[in-house]
């Protein structure tokens, strides 16, 4: 299929109405019906189930649609890359994010984005989740990467990935060998956590409330690596993202024990001001991030 063929098929697959698809594509309905019939004859199977004026993707159609959508995305990326090479784009993207995403996620996103983004300048700022969200709403940042989803109005959200949470304990802790643990078992434990205003602190407070425990907090910090180090030194336990458990330097640990509590995961997402008009650079980064999330299985 060429680019135009991909466009009409994906439009028809998403709307599942020939009339509506023809109107959007600015072509006659009989023409679109003939295009579909010609495609189905070439493939050798019907891609839609028919019921009156309604058509619905069948099993063959869903497979074909997924491949067509990915092919369209690749062609769009190729056209942007060629256009940027011939006439490089310019623009500025101001990205704010939490400290814990600076080691892996943000570098991955920026690296992938810049390979096809032309001469777009990306400026970075790091801070607590609440501050990142405020910068986006105040217009000091175009986009933010935070967790969990902000509980304020006026913020757009797109999930980038989901990270399971674990209980981080010292190597010699009584729970270090457990396959999983529930927070309710830790009512008497001393916790090390983030300061108020940080995303992991909000998640920690919500998990403790759901487990009906009032945690005893031994230390608070503004960096996950410090939290991990304090745990490794035997000064308490902590709830941390398990995918990228921060290193404790020369200390041995901490040990990660999976949490069995419902909701023991954090959603990491891209946020923007719903009231702001996005620049071309911002739109392109949002689109790239959605594609990245789909490729990494974060969203269906």
Asked whether the domain spanning 164-263 has the same topology as the one spanning 3-86, the reply is no
Query: Is the per-residue pLDDT at 66 higher than 80?
Result: yes
CATH of domain 164-263: 3.40.190.290
Q: Where exactly are the structural domains of the chain?
A: 3-86, 90-161+267-295, 164-263
pLDDT band at 300 (very low <50, low <70, confident <90, very high): very low
Which of 55-64, 150-159, 240-249, 275-284 shows the lowest per-residue confidence on average (mean pLDDT)? Answer: 240-249
CA dihedral sign, ordered 243, 244, 246, 248? positive
**Under 8 Å CB-to-CB from 26, ≥6 apart: which residues?**
none
Which of 116-120, 153-157, 165-169, 175-179 shows the lowest per-residue confidence on average (mean pLDDT)? Answer: 116-120
CATH architecture of the domain with range 3-86: Orthogonal Bundle (1.10)
Predicted pLDDT at 89: 55
Query: Is the per-residue pLDDT at 133 higher than 90?
Result: yes
Of 141 and 120, the one with more pLDDT: 141
Please give the Cα distance from 225 to 254 (Å, whole number): 11
Fold for the domain defined by 90-161+267-295: D-Maltodextrin-Binding Protein; domain 2 (3.40.190)
Q: How far is CA 43 from CA 34, 60, 189, 240, in A?
A: 14, 10, 63, 50
**Under 8 Å CB-to-CB from 296, ≥6 apart: which residues?**
161
**By the 8 A CB rule, do 201 and 280 touch?**
no
Predicted pLDDT at 74: 79
């Amino acid at each position: 299929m060429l680019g135009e063929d991909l466009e009409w098929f994906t439009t028809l697959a998403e709307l599942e109405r020939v009339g509506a698809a023809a109107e959007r594509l600015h072509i006659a309905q009989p023409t679109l019906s003939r295009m579909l019939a010609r495609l189905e004859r070439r493939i050798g199977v019907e891609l839609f189930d028919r019921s009156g004026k309604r058509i619905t993707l069948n099993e063959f159609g869903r497979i074909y649609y997924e491949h067509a959508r990915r092919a369209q995305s690749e062609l769009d990326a190729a056209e942007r890359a060629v256009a940027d090479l011939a006439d490089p784009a310019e623009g500025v993207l101001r990205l704010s994010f939490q400290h814990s995403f600076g080691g892996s996620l943000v570098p991955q996103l920026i690296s992938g984005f810049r390979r096809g983004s032309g001469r777009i300048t990306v400026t970075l700022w790091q801070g607590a989740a609440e501050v990142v969200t405020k910068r986006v709403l105040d217009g000091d940042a175009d986009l933010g990467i935070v967790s969990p989803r902000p509980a304020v109005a006026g913020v757009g959200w797109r999930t980038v990935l989901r990270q399971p949470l674990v209980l981080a304990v010292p190597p010699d802790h009584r729970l270090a060998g457990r396959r999983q643990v529930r927070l309710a078992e830790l009512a008497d434990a001393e916790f090390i956590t983030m300061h108020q205003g940080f995303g992991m602190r909000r998640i920690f407070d919500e998990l403790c409330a759901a487990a009906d425990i009032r945690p005893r907090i031994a230390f608070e910090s503004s960096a996950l690596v410090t939290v991990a180090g304090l745990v490794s030194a035997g000064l308490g336990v902590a709830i941390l993202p398990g995918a990228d458990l921060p290193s404790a330097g020369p200390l041995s640990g901490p040990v990660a024990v999976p949490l069995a509590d419902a909701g023991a995961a954090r959603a990491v997402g891209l946020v923007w001001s719903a009231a702001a008009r996005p620049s071309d650079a911002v739109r392109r980064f949002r689109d790239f991030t959605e594609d990245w999330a789909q490729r990494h299985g974060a969203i269906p």
